[in-house]
Amino acid sequence: MKTRNIAMAGAMALTIAACSTNPITGKAQLNAVPNSQLFPTAFTQYDQFLKENKVITGTKEAAMVTSVGQKIKAAAEKYLASLGHSDYLAGYEWEYKLVQSDEVNAWCMPGGKIVVYSGILPITKDEAGLATVLGHEVAHALLNHGGQRMTAEMAQQLGAAGLQVATQGKSETTQAILQQAYGVGATYGAVLPFSRSHESEADKVGLTLMAVAGYNPDKAIEFWQRMSAKAGGSSTPELLSTHPSDATRIANITNEIPQAKANAAKLGVKY
């Protein structure tokens, strides 16, 4: 009982200490790992990844990744300044690298370190398509999704520890079943929906960033339609995926485009 109380107290302390408000969404968020700790670790991992993979330089594609990335970065700075939160970007070190890989993907480390795989370029096709991807990835960084996911995992571990204490005295088989049930419930009941929520949130903010950067957010729909066609309808069912289904994503983006254009219009960018 005492250990379980400690675990519960630890979870409560984690929640209280980690609560903050994101200046873009205005929503409270949990982040138990401060940027001062998170960013240096992410930067080190990013540098290690670049050493172990082929970075493409000196091509028009690599130049486009850098150019579009810088425009999205400038849009983020402009947008946050309009919200009165220029200081929010302290510690961010934006970097965009094109890496040789057939994988259709791009990702962003906390603090603004971004990789675009060459395999996604035939689907982005042009600057607007690439701006859709980079706007989405930069949005992940601005929304501090990496820190939030780490916090969620820490909370999940505390919960699992509490369950282990609660089942002491039960048979090993019973404990194993309960632990497995907790793991499945936590994964499909919390972790994956939490990730889908992040993806949808990054889509929304990414639309505004690409719009402020001068790219028509209507082009985002065309990009995701091409992504859907590439998948050929073989994507993982939405319930078991960390990403929304293609149909859900396209519908959500369509609904969010007017707001993205309105946000850009306030900063003098119109379509």
State the chain's mean pLDDT as an integer: 79
Q: How many domains does the chain have?
A: 1
The reply to whether 164 falls in a domain is yes
Whether residue 97 contacts residue 33, with contact meaning beta carbons closer than 8 Å, is answered with no
* pTM of the complete model beyond 0.85: no
b/e code 215-252 from CB counts within 10 Å (16+ = b): bbbbbbbbbbeebbeeeeeeeeebeeeebbbbeebbeb
Q: Which amino acid is at 89?
A: L
**Token output for 99:** 């890496």
In which domain, by residue range, is 205 found? 2-266
Catalytic residue among 137, 199, 201, 256: 137
Q: Is 103 left (phi over 0), alpha (psi -120 to 50) or beta?
A: beta
How confident is the model over 68-107, as pLDDT tens digits?
999 999 999 999 999 999 999 999 999 999 999 999 999 8
Q: Is 95 a catalytic residue?
A: no
> Which pLDDT score is estimated for 98?
98
State the CATH number of the domain containing residue 232: 3.40.390
Percent of the chain with pLDDT over 90: 50
HSE on the CB side for 218, CA within 13 Å?
3
The reply to whether 271 falls in a domain is no
Secondary structure (3-state) at 106:
strand
